Amino acid sequence: MAEPQYQRLLVERKGADGEVLWLSLSNPAMRNALDDKMQLELIDALASAKDDISIRCLVLRGAGKVFCSGGDIRGFEGMNPAKGEWFSIHRGQAIQNLFTMLGKPVIAAVDGWCLAGGTELALMCDFIYAAEAAKFGLTEIAIGLLPGWGGLTRLPRAVGARRAREMIYRAEIVSASEAQRAGLVNRVFSTADELYAQADLAATEIAAKSQAAVRVARGVIAETAGASDEVAMSLERGAVVYLLATPDVQEGVNAFIEKRAPKFNQQP
C-alpha cells in the first residue's frame, strides 16, 4: 500500500517489514515551521500510524538541516482569544492527544534549530536524540506569548522547575550538550548522519521487542508521573499480571530456555 503524499511531510517505512515509520517535517521555505498545512498533515499521519498495527515505532525528524523553527508567527496576526482557544484545542491539543494515544514509541531525531513549537514537538516524543548542531528553546515569550502545546508542563518535568523557569523567562536557546546535561536530550552525536543511524538502530531494536510490553510500559510510565509510590507500584503490578497472559511472554521464556532469539509480535 502506497504511503500518502503530503506537501509538508515526508513519509518513509523502514525495517524488514516496514515496522518503523519515519516522519520528516518538510517546509524548507519556513525552516520547517509548523504552518497550518503541516499541522493538519501531522494530525493525519499520526492518526494513520495509530491505527496501523504493522507500525511499531516512529522517528520524527526535520528534512534538511533544521528540525523545526517553531510555529508560523504570521498565523497569530489578528488572532483573538476565541480563535486562539479553537486553535489550541483543534491543533495543539489534537496533536498532543495523538502522541499520547499512539500506543507506540516516538523518537525525536533533532538536527539544527528546534525552537518554540519545535521543542514542544520533541518533548511530546518518548525520548530525544540530537546532533551536536542542534539548538533547543521555548522562545515564545520573545513575542509576548508562552508555549501552548505542553511546553510549560513538559519542560519542567524534563529539566526541573528552576531550570525550566530560566529557559522560558529568558527565551534561552541551549546547545545539544547543555540540553543533554539538563535532562532534555538523551544522547548527542557528532554528526547528523550518526544521529539518524543511531535513531534508526534504536527504533529497529524497539520494533523487535514485544509490542504489547512496549505499549504497556509506555502507558504505565505516563500514568505514574507524579503519582504516589503506592499508586505507581499498583499500576506496575497490574501491567506485569496483564502481560503474563500474552503470547509474547511465553515465547520469551521459551526462547530463553532454548537459547535462541525470541520471535515476538507473531499474528495468530
The set of catalytic residues is 120, 140
Q: CA-CA distance, 142 to 123, in Å (whole number)?
A: 20
Query: Cα torsion for 207, 212, 213, 215, to the nearest 10°?
Result: 80
Cell of 252: 520469551
Q: CA-CA distance, 52 to 19, in Å (whole number)?
A: 10
| DSSP string covering 136-164 | EE--GGGGT----SSHHHHHHHHH-HHHH
Cell of 68: 523545526
Helix (H, G, I), strand (E, B) or coil at 14: strand
Cβ distance 101 to 218 under 8 Å? no
Cα distances (angstroms) measured from residue 131 to each of 16, 148, 151: 26, 26, 21
Q: CA-CA distance, 241 to 250, in Å (whole number)?
A: 13
* CA 69 to chain centroid: 16
Residue type, 169: Y
